Chains A and B, each alone.
Chain A
Amino acid sequence: MSGKNVQVLRTTTWSAGPGCHGGCGVLAYIEDGKLVKIEGDPEHPWNQGRLCSRALAITQYVYHPNRLTRPLKRVGKRGEGKWEEISWDEAFDLIEARMKKIRQDHGPESFIFSMGTGRDIGPWICMLAYAYGSPNVMFSLSGIACYSPRISAVETVQGDYCVIDAAQWLVDRYESPRYKIPDCIVVWGYDIPASCPDNIFGHWIIDLMKRGAKIIAIDPRLSWFASRATKWLRLRPGTDGALAMGFLNVIINEKLYDEGFVEKWTNAHHLIRCDAGRLLRESDLVDGGSQSNFVVWDAEDEKPAIWDSDEAGYRSPDVKPRLTGDFEVDLRDGKRVQARTVWDVFCEEVNGYPLERVAEITLVPEKDIRDAAIFYAKSKPASIHWGVPIDMTPAVTPTAQAITYLWCLTGNLDVPGGNVISRYAFDAVAYALPGAEGVIKLKSKEVDKKRIGAARYGPLNKFIWRAQTDLALEQIFTEDPYPIKGMWIQACNPIGGIGMDPKRWVEAIKKLEFVVAVDLFHTPSTQLADIILPAATFLEKDGVRSWWVPLQTINKAITVGQCKPDLEINFELAKRFDPDFRWDRIHDLFDDILRPSGMTFRELQERGGWALPTEGHPSAPYHRFEKGLLRKDRKPGFQTPSGKIELYSSLREEWGLEPLPHYEEPPFTPISQPELAKEYPLILSTGRRSPVYFHSEHRNIPWLRQIHPHPLIEIHPNTARSLGISSGEWVWVENWLGRCRFKAKVTPVVPEWMVMAEHGWWFPEEPGAEPSLFKVWKSNVNQLIPMGYQGKDGLGAPIKHTLCKVYKVSAGDASDE
């Protein structure tokens, strides 16, 4: 650093650049208007001066010679890779005209707005779609299988979501007297230091380990955590649900649960009709009774009593509900039915998972499951944090439900060092997310009725406001119930990253009349667009970040070429599409989003760019269900239909789905497909993170690519030996859907029966035009994973467990290596 003319500007990372879910405070060093260096902000409580490799390589990213810096118009055929630079005015005019024509001819819902993982794009793509009039914002992963399903599942039974408490709500962090270091952290399917997913800074867990926290690692791979864990459970991929049921089995039968919590805060006493197999409701008992109220058996009078969900209390005083027993209840139609308590039915379900059975399903030895469950249950506090493998199975909801009950029943909910309820800081929310409304809204509920999948799937009408991706892909081909004519692809790479069965996505996108891609670099997906717009990194824009905590501003530091922030692009078009668009200036929109915090954008910036809600605010811990801080009416309890933690889910029952947690064998495993497994004997898992890449990004950044030059598949030494494969050799990985090539990394971190292939690989140094598409077909493992196997509730997909065989690439095959 020369020291002359250097300005230091403080800002917040969020997406384009490091690519991640952001939150790190950074100092940008600007010399004569140019970024020369970036450092972690030591004053920021989130990262405390640290910064990852992807952020530290930002100068190579921002000023990359291949950065898109001007709008492009396709001049050849789609996929031919011929482009003409045009002005922003021309681009906006052209897009406006084409999209308005499609809206007029086919209706606004015929245009899909496709996004990748939720970063600094969700609010702005929703804003554009809603201004245009389309409800079809699509997170482009099969089964929407990243984070939303877990959030939805937890909110279904708990009313609010929760995350590991790493003191991120407290300015003094680990030193705060209000905080307790967890004795035990369950790291469930998560290589968190490499990825910082779900608005958690991965190395917080390392901070906690140094302060005494012990680890239970649940992972088929010997992850860094597994290597250092007090207990490591190497489960078969996709069997997390069975393992969670096994944990519950130990905790219930060895009486390691918090009986007071069960009695006071769960719906354990509510009665279930044995004849209909559903919850007994007040409307079953009395004329004019509410469907939303439930029934218990009062031990005082030996008769039914009504639980009033709205009042969060019993209708009559001094009710002593029975936790267990068989009862006869007279219905209002004169019928007499048998009834049982939720607790009895719940325990019966849990007892269907003796450890012998769980060990057989998961491949984890019985003793290890028992020891780990006891260690977790006896540690106070203990915390569970889980990763995307929970979402990446069709039975995500019953799995997530079982894990939710672990932290609830052990008394670890919303306590220091436990699983703490996560609200958006100050309840400032930009757009509709699970459990929050936001200022960016669709104009009417009527418009939302046409959202793809909304009519079919319950959670898509309660928690998740996206088009269902698998149905959307099919609808492009079937045009049923209405045709899809266009796609806006922003912060998303369906062909090289997020799309399963990506060749089918190519076919689908080619069928559309008009496609716009917004990105910072060419990708395999931009090749299929008619117009490409150059987007900005986080350093080139103002923004607000509201994902759990803190509430943050992003502060513009530099300008690059003619690149525009996603928000500015979408804002301009939203104004053109919607004559009633609410905002004139972007900062007015920011002020609206931040309004619940009592601060304007400028005020938050002047405070240093971040703020944490303080104790007593509903978005700040702890013990909020006891203090009445969760429900809108400020009564103690939860935001579920009954106001209780629902061990038997009334919402799932309404949706016609199993109300209890349970295990379902995924669709493509050696157990569910024994015939296929004869030809494809290895379990293929994917998605293991590299710390230097974010999904399909960053292969063009020299400082990062040199660390990780090739796509890798991990193979156990014994398996490699039997296949005649050595480390560094190119191998085919193949199943009934296709094949692709990886470099073998022979390593004992994977079990003998499984291989782990990296996702997101394409080669920016190769030609973009078809058929190459940056050689995306060479190593894109998603070619071996189908679309259309989403869970019964539209959520989850079999992404981390399918079947394959692996064999050496022969000399003739490898001509281009």
Chain B
Amino acid sequence: MSEGTKYGLLIDYEYCTGCFTCQVACAQEYRRPNEIVGMQVIEIIQMLPNGKSYLTFIPFPTELCTLCASRTRSGLEPACVKHCMAKCIKHGPIEALAKEMNEKGRMVLWAPQ
């Protein structure tokens, strides 16, 4: 990986079940005090035509997210990625992750500040 490579998280919200594992994995890793979260899972119920709905969750990394710099330096996955029950969060170079978005829909790509 070259100097200056930007990293991010690719979130496949088609498979996020809203289990909140990422949020608590992050809280444990950083011993976060109550109400301060590094990852926040959001429920979105999309009303569709004909009385149908699509139930979605999106794990949203907050301002506190550093992509687990200390973990990734030691070759570990970020805490949320490691524990994600649906294996729907992927960590990697943004360019590579963006290419993956060509292959599959219902994804969002997130980069830290």
| Partner-B contacts on A (CB < 8 A) | 37-40, 49-53, 56-57, 59, 193-194, 202-203, 206-207, 209-210, 222-224, 226-228, 691-692, 702-704, 706-707, 747-749
Contact = CB atoms under 8 A, between A and B. Distances in A.
Contact of B20 (A37, A203, A206, A691): A691
Contacts of A207: 87
Contacts of B84: 50
Given A194-B17, A703-B24, 9 more contacts: A52-B85, A53-B23, A56-B24, A57-B24, A206-B17, A224-B55, A227-B55, A691-B18, A707-B20
B83 A748 contact: no
B86 A193 contact: yes
A691 B57 CA distance: 13
A50 B53 contact: no
Contacts of B45: 747-749
How many B residues are at the interface, by size bracket? 20 to 34
A222 B53 CA distance: 8
Nearest to A196: B85
Nearest to A194: B19
Smallest CB-CB A-B distances: 5 pairs: A227-B55, A53-B24, A193-B17, A56-B24, A203-B85
B83 to A, nearest CB: 5
Contact of A52 (B18, B21, B55, B82): B21
A56 B86 CA distance: 16
A672 B54 CA distance: 33
28 contacts: A38-B28, A40-B82, A49-B83, A50-B87, A51-B85, A52-B21, A52-B85, A53-B21, A53-B23, A53-B24, A56-B21, A194-B17, A202-B85, A203-B85, A206-B17, A209-B15, A210-B15, A210-B87, A224-B17, A691-B17, A692-B24, A702-B34, A703-B24, A703-B32, A706-B35, A707-B41, A749-B45, A749-B53
Contacts of A704: 24
A193 B19 contact: yes
B10 interface: no
Scoring A53, A193, A691 by chain B CB atoms within 10 A of each residue's CB, the highest score goes to A53
B25 interface: yes
Given A40-B82, A222-B53, A691 B34 contact: no
Nearest to B86: A206
Contacts of B67: none
Nearest to B84: A50
Contacts of A50: 21, 83-85, 87
B94 to A, nearest CB: 23
Contacts of A702: 34
B47 A692 contact: no
A53 B20 contact: yes
B27 interface: yes
Contacts of A202: 17, 85
Interface in B58-99: 82-87
A193 B85 contact: yes
B82 A39 contact: yes
B19 A37 contact: no
Interface of B: 14-15, 17-21, 23-25, 27-29, 32, 34-35, 41, 45, 47, 53-56, 82-87
Nearest to B34: A702
B53 A703 contact: no
A377 to B, nearest CB: 25
A691 to B, nearest CB: 5
A749 B28 contact: no
A617 B17 CA distance: 36
Contact of B83 (A56, A226, A703): A56
B5 to A, nearest CB: 25
A39 B83 contact: yes
B28 A203 contact: no
Contacts of A706: 34-35
Contacts of A57: 24, 27-28
Nearest to A52: B21
Given A38-B28, A50-B87, A703 B34 contact: yes
A692 B86 CA distance: 16
Contacts of A691: 17-20
A57 B14 CA distance: 26
A49 B54 CA distance: 29
B25 A56 contact: yes
A749 B55 contact: yes
Nearest to A191: B17
B47 A703 contact: no
Given A203-B86, A748-B53, A703 B27 contact: yes
B30 to A, nearest CB: 11
Given A51-B83, A59-B28, A692-B20, A227 B54 contact: yes
A155 B13 CA distance: 40
Given A224-B55, A227-B55, A748-B53, A52 B28 contact: no
Contact of A206 (B15, B24, B82): B15
A72 B28 CA distance: 31
A193 B16 CA distance: 10
Contacts of B17: 193-194, 202-203, 206, 224, 691
The CB with the most chain A CB atoms within 10 A, among B18, B23, B84, is that of B23
B104 to A, nearest CB: 10
B106 to A, nearest CB: 10
A202 B85 CA distance: 9
Contacts of A193: 17, 19, 85-86
A198 to B, nearest CB: 17
A592 B74 CA distance: 43
B45 to A, nearest CB: 6
A37 B27 CA distance: 11
Nearest to B47: A748
Contacts of B55: 222-224, 226-227, 749
A40 B28 contact: no
